[in-house]
């Protein structure tokens, strides 16, 4: 257990209690991030908050620490956090549990794709804090096994993502069930007018905490692109994985079928890779994510389902096997690396006709993405032309060829032309 002298004083100056300072010290946190420095004091004061911060800046601890500190272990359910995906709900729960390790706070997670009975058992243990996806939370509310009417804290994590997925109506139904005075916190990578309209009826004079300053958190990410056609992508990917030798990498594909196919090809090529996408059974998704979190899996092939649902430390490389059409998705993808000041690498494969997508990304991040040459890679067409030149017989000038032609060089005699089968007379029908 950390000694008092080893506790992170900057967090103590923000108002965090000793039992949570011990947890932070155990986790290795010494200095709060910008969003934590600005959001924690406002949350401890009980104000409603609209918090805008990019991925990888420590938003979970920013809203989690003040809420955990203000929970009463003697009371029942007091806090609810909604997350857009199962992976993010599990991730937030794990983070909150690490922060609450020296307290008596019980935290459970509920989400679709898992047996209802198991989650009902967890709810029966009288948790203080529930984290869940809107669909499953609403389902349990309708079953009358989850009563949120008297909770004191409501958090919506990655609000813009929830709206993208189509959870607006579910969010309204859930928040409208809270009847007691409570603190509401919305945190998101972007806060636009749609989010403000959603928050309006459920917040009272919210404080707007914006630490993004219209700047994307990609400063620590070394970005580049490789020009390659579709049929060359796999060859380029193998070369990059061999040369860079990333300890932990995510390869993003645009579709579930592409992710499934690529993961199999990598595995067959002897590369430790597994896939994660929406069609994967929940149990298998959890098993894959657990291997990845423990760094027991080198390459994760993912669809954009995972772009905001993965928070794994020390992801060194992001490879966009398929460049996203939406530049915002690009930012969310590469936000998985270069986190909390660590160095990260992001490489994007761009086909010849995808210059517009790359330009849109450069406009959004306000910087030019440099081209990258992969050592040992030669496009298939160029290689084919090289082989043709290498193996093509030397052509002689016509006059020299005629003078030196031997019997074997002479052209074979041409066969006399025939009418062919289609000009044969038709057989007479027997009478």
Residue predicted with more confidence, 279 or 127? 127
Nearest to 47 by CA among 254, 205, 209: 205
Residue 386 pLDDT exceeds 70:
no
**Lowest-confidence region among 171-180, 254-263, 410-419:** 410-419
Burial 80-91 (b: 16+ CB within 10 A, else e): bbbbbbbbbbbb
- Mean per-residue pLDDT, 52-70: 89
Check residue 213 and give its pLDDT.
52
Q: Which of 43-52, 196-205, 209-218 has the lowest mean pLDDT?
A: 209-218
Query: Does the pLDDT value for residue 19 go beyond 60?
Result: yes
> Residues 329-357: what's their mean pLDDT?
84
Average pLDDT value for the chain: 84
pLDDT confidence bin for 174, thresholds 50/70/90 = very high
Statement: residue 413 has pLDDT above 70: no
More confident residue, 193 or 62: 62
Indicate the pLDDT class of residue 220, thresholds 50, 70 and 90.
Answer: confident
Task: Give 39's pLDDT tier (boundaries 50, 70, 90).
Answer: very high
pLDDT at 391: 45
- Supply the DSSP string of 294-308, one letter for each residue: TT--SEEEE-GGGTT
Q: At residue 226, does pLDDT exceed 60?
A: yes
The full set of domains in the chain, from first to last, is 4-210 (3.40.50.300), 221-374 (3.40.50.300)
| Higher pLDDT pick, 69 / 418 | 69
Structure tokens at 117: 């009975």
Average pLDDT score over residue span 408-428: 49
How many degrees, rounded to 5, is the angle at CA 100 between CA 307 and CA 4? 120
- pLDDT single digits (tens) 302-334: 988 655 556 676 788 999 999 998 888 888 888
| Count of CB atoms situated within 10 Å of the CB of 418 | 8
Give the span between the Cα atoms of 155 and 314, in whole angstroms: 27
Own/partner contacts of 143-146, CB < 8 Å, gap of 24 or more, are 145/120, 146/77, 146/110
Q: How many helices (H) and strands (E) does the chain have?
A: 17, 13
How far does CA 295 lie from the centroid of its chain? 16
Average pLDDT of the segment spanning 338-343: 64
> What pLDDT sits at residue 293?
82
Residues 87 and 256 sit within 8 Å (Cβ to Cβ): no
Looking at the whole model, is its pTM more than 0.85?
no
Closest-CA residue to 196 (of 326, 51, 64, 332): 51
Mean pLDDT computed over 287-304: 88
pLDDT at residue number 428: 52
Q: How confident is the model at residue 345 (pLDDT cuts 50, 70, 90)?
A: very high
The token duo for 288 is 């894959």
As a whole number of angstroms, the distance between CA 318 and CA 316 comes to 7
Q: What is the pLDDT of residue 315?
A: 87
């Amino acid at each position: 257990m950390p000694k008092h002298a080893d506790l992170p004083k900057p967090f103590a100056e923000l108002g965090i209690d000793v039992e949570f300072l011990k947890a932070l010290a155990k986790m290795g946190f010494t200095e709060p991030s910008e969003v934590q420095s600005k959001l924690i004091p406002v949350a401890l004061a009980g104000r409603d908050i609209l918090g805008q911060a990019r991925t990888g800046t420590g938003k979970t601890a920013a809203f989690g620490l003040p809420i955990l500190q203000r929970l009463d272990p003697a009371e029942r359910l007091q806090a609810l956090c909604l997350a857009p995906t199962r992976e993010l709900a599990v991730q937030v729960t794990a983070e909150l549990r690490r922060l609450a390790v020296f307290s008596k706070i019980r935290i459970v997670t509920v989400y679709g794709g898992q047996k209802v009975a198991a989650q009902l058992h967890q709810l029966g243990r009288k948790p203080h804090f529930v984290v869940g996806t809107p669909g499953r939370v609403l389902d349990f509310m309708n079953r009358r096994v989850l009563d949120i009417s008297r909770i004191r804290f409501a958090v919506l994590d990655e609000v813009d993502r929830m709206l993208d997925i189509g959870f607006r109506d579910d969010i309204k139904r859930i928040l409208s069930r809270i009847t007691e005075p409570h603190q509401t916190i919305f945190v998101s990578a972007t806060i636009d007018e749609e989010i403000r309209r959603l928050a309006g009826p459920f917040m009272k004079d919210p404080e707007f905490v914006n630490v993004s300053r219209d700047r994307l958190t990609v400063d620590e990410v070394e970005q580049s692109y490789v020009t390659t056609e579709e049929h060359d992508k796999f060859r380029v990917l193998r070369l990059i994985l061999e040369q860079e030798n990333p300890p932990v990498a995510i390869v993003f594909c645009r579709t579930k079928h592409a992710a499934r196919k690529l993961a199999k090809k990598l595995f067959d090529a002897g590369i430790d890779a597994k896939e994660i996408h929406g069609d994967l059974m929940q149990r298998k998704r959890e098993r894959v994510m657990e291997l990845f979190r423990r760094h027991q899996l080198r390459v994760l092939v993912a669809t954009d389902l995972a772009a905001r649902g993965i928070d794994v430390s020390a992801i060194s490389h992001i490879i966009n096997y398929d460049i996203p059409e939406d530049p915002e998705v690009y930012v969310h993808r590469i936000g998985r690396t270069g986190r909390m000041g660590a160095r990260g690498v992001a490489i994007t494969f761009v086909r010849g006709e995808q210059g517009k997508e790359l330009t849109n990304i450069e406009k959004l991040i306000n910087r030019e993405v440099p081209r990258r040459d992969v050592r040992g890679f030669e496009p298939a067409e160029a290689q084919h032309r090289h082989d043709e030149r290498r193996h093509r017989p030397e052509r002689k000038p016509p006059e020299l060829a005629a003078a030196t032609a031997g019997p074997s060089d002479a052209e074979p005699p041409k066969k006399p032309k025939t009418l062919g089968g289609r000009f044969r007379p038709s057989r007479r029908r027997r009478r």
